[in-house]
Amino acid sequence: MPHKHHREIIILLGKPGSGKGTQAEPLARAMGLPFVSMGKMLREEIKKGTKIGKAAAAGVARGELIPNFLTIILLRRRLSRPDAKRGIIIDGFPRDLEQAVILDKIAHVRHAILISITDKEVVRRISGRRICSVCGQNYHIEAFKPKVKGICDKCGGKIVHRDDDKPYIIKERLRSYRQDTVPVLRFYRRKRVLRRVDAQAGIVAVGKNILEAINKADA
């Protein structure tokens, strides 16, 4: 594997509902780097029933977090693929300080983008989210309504409100964020790679501001 500093690792950080997932793919296209979602990679391993998938699924069934060594194995494997030679854009990792320290040992984080949002806006955005119970298409009661109330435009499935998108769960998720992710922000601030972008602008404007923050830091 090439020396870790040959790679351009960009990580997206922010509270739940800040728009990390929404921004990741357009940013990946603009930068010409692959986008890696740790959550998606783990879900695929569980679905395929691989060794890592089975170990992760057993933990999930017990309500535990995925052990760091499993996510690191997956990340190392992803970094060794030819398309990641120049680097990757990561969403969903590192989630805590221990993960940030481990990541620092295997890759050089050039930019840690914090998509900043207020708690009030998080609750408004997430509690308004709805999802099709059949195909998984996302909707929002204000921003993206289906043509027919409660019915998915794509497949005609029933649109539901997920339990973890309900306000009392969101508040719990925000508590965990503060406990686990705030030390990560301090870690990257000390390394002078943290770039803060306000999430309140529209999706396109936020994307533009992320690119500007990266270019400014690289200038």
Q: CATH no. for residue 65?
A: 3.40.50.300
The question of whether 129 is a catalytic residue gets the answer: yes
pLDDT digits (tens, 9 = 90+) for 65-79: 778 888 888 999 999
In the set 95, 125, 130, 195, the catalytic residue is 95
Please answer whether residues 134 and 158 qualify as being in contact, where contact means their C-beta atoms are separated by less than 8 angstroms: yes
C-alpha neighbours within 13 Å on the C-beta side of residue 166: 7
How many domains, the chain?
1
Instruction: Name the DSSP class of 139.
Output: E
Question: Is pLDDT of 1 > 80?
Answer: no
Identify the CA nearest to 113 among candidates 25, 9, 205: 9
What pLDDT was estimated at residue 63?
A: 65
What pLDDT was estimated at residue 29?
A: 93
The question of whether 20 is a catalytic residue gets the answer: yes
In the set 124, 173, 196, 208, the catalytic residue is 173
In the set 7, 15, 125, 129, the catalytic residue is 129
Q: Which residues, listed in sequence order, are joined to residue 75 by a DSSP beta bridge?
A: none
In the set 7, 20, 130, 195, the catalytic residue is 20
Distance CA 35, CA 127 (A): 27
Helix (H) or strand (E) holding 8: strand 8-14
The question of whether 124 is a catalytic residue gets the answer: no
Question: Is pLDDT of 85 > 80?
Answer: yes
Quote the mean pLDDT of the chain: 88
What pLDDT was estimated at residue 6?
A: 52
Question: Is pLDDT of 125 > 90?
Answer: no
> In terms of residue numbers, what domain contains 183?
4-218
Which of these ranges, 46-50, 56-60, 130-134, 201-205, has the smallest mean pLDDT?
56-60
Please answer whether residues 199 and 116 qualify as being in contact, where contact means their C-beta atoms are separated by less than 8 angstroms: yes
Distance CA 156, CA 91 (A): 30
